[in-house]
Structure 1
Amino acid sequence: MEIEGSERTPPEAGEVRRGLGKAFFAWLLAHGGGTDRRLYGARKRLLLGGLSGTVVEIGAGAGPNAEYLGAEAGASGVRWIAVEPNVHFHPRLRRAAGARGLDLEIVGGVAERLPLADASADAVVSTLVLCSVDSVAGVLAEVQRVLKPGGRFVFIEHVAAPEASVLRRWQRRLRRPWGALADGCRPDQDTLAMIDRAGFARVDAERFHLRAGLVAPHVAGVAVR
């Protein structure tokens, strides 16, 4: 059964992203599903499969996480609110939700200003997003605002290499050209430290490495409000 996605009142013009460059980026990420599944599938299944209720995903992209949401609770047990400023992803999000029978709502805005009520989400999901937002602190504050008490912030992010490492030096040197090619991505950002400082009641995370060059170091985990 195909479920039509709904959209909230359009956000401010500066919070919606469109154009040739954004369209190409959407096309590029939409064709990387196989790689995403190979690199992150096992961890996504573990972290996302048991989520239920209202699940807000920031930077939802083309919807690669749709196949994991409700895997244990059942698709009918998840209301998926996909926050995605790049409008070229929205048709792909609808198709991803329809293929999995998920109840989808698209929010075409940015994670720093979520048009959602306080304590309205059971979980918030971020996978490979915090590296490119304008304000990590602002996003994490919004995540905590919309989470219910005891709600979970589930994340998988690439992070900075250890301070004295050769890779860290290369991450710093190539930050600008990398960001220009990867939609503002910052390879030398210590994202886990930012999550630890954000004021969650508890943060449980693991570090792991992938064969991914400049962005090989990763973290995955859950922060509880």
Structure 2
Amino acid sequence: MKIHHIAGQNSVLNKFLAEIRDVTIQKDRLRFRRNIERIGEILAYELSKSLPYKNIAVTTPLGEKNVAVNKANIVLCSVLRAGLPLHQGLLNYFDDAENSFISAYRHHKNGGEVFEIIVEYLASPSLENKTLILADPMLATGQSLVSTFEALKSMGKPEEIHLVSVVGAREGIDYVNKHFPGNTHLWIADIDPELNQRGYIVPGLGDAGDLAYGMKKQS
């Protein structure tokens, strides 16, 4: 798997990352969602550089210009519910993409540290020979991405796979690397060093779904 760590080079991305991590700023849900969306736009731009292109002729008021445009048949798939703002950021740039949504959540057995990933809903077009962009803002243990990918296999075999995340832990990245095809690309804004005992990213930013949409009842 090829890893693209975008915050490895300084850019305006760092401002948005700082704000979604900041315990005072992130309390503003509207701002939090918008920052995740803007991070999605930056990741989409970086990802777009790796896609196949074709030349088309564009007629202007004064003549004609040849322009290279993306020719990939893209399907954007996001993990509900935390992935929605990130999905919108990607869709702002890949506005002609098909869209897929899948639910995945952690079920902590008896409220303990051990959990399983429950996938309950999937709505997707065919993925056969298409470019799959699978988005999940928090790449913690990596189990959610692997579980959703297993569920998506029934939709066909994509030609290319791109994973998009905002913040990930190295342990989760290693786990994903073992379970996805070798030619998969991971586009990630920033990488944190570790997970705590409950499998949450440290220092991370907290629960992205709760910060974007409000607290949920724990399962």
Normalising TM by the smaller chain, what interval? 0.3 to 0.5
TM-score after normalising by structure 1:
0.41
Q: Larger radius of gyration, structure 1 or 2?
A: 2
TM-score after normalising by structure 2:
0.41
Q: Which has the higher contact order (CA 8 A, sep 6+)?
A: 2
Higher strand share: 2
